Amino acid sequence: MERPQFVFVFGTLKKGFPLHRRGLAHAAYLGPYRTARNYPMLVAGPWFAPMMFHEPGSGLRVSGELYEVDPVTLERLDRMESIGKPGNFRRRIRVVPRRHGRSCRAFAYFKARFLAVPVHTGYLRSYEDRRFVPPWRREM
């Protein structure tokens, strides 16, 4: 039996944001969490995407949501997050519940800084920006 996989989301995959329904609608929501360490997270790029950089110790503790996912959902999220393309990757990080409970290790999606052009915000604790342009609304 496979052990459960946890995914920490901090941006457009959160409830109420454009990619949630396509990515996590059927996943088990485990509650509000935040990163145990500081990470730089900001809004950047031509589509106003939230991006977090794998630079632990820099930036702020980032708030988000924790989900338990099956392998099929994890593969779908990897495609949505462009895993395999330059500058897009996922790593396990420690996350802690916002209120009470146990910390755990969860996958989080990261971008390389070269994708963050132009930068639209400073570092953020919580993503609430509504300017993101989802893939189905982009003109190529």
Burial of 11 (0-12, 13-18, 19+ CB in 10 A): buried
Residue 35: which H helix or E strand, with range?
A: strand 28-35
Q: Is 81 a catalytic residue?
A: yes
Vertex 135, ends 84 and 41: CA angle to 5°? 65
The single residue of 65, 68, 75, 81 carrying the catalytic annotation is 81
What is the rounded distance in angstroms from the CA atom of residue 1 to the CA atom of residue 130?
40
Catalytic residue numbers, as ranges: 81
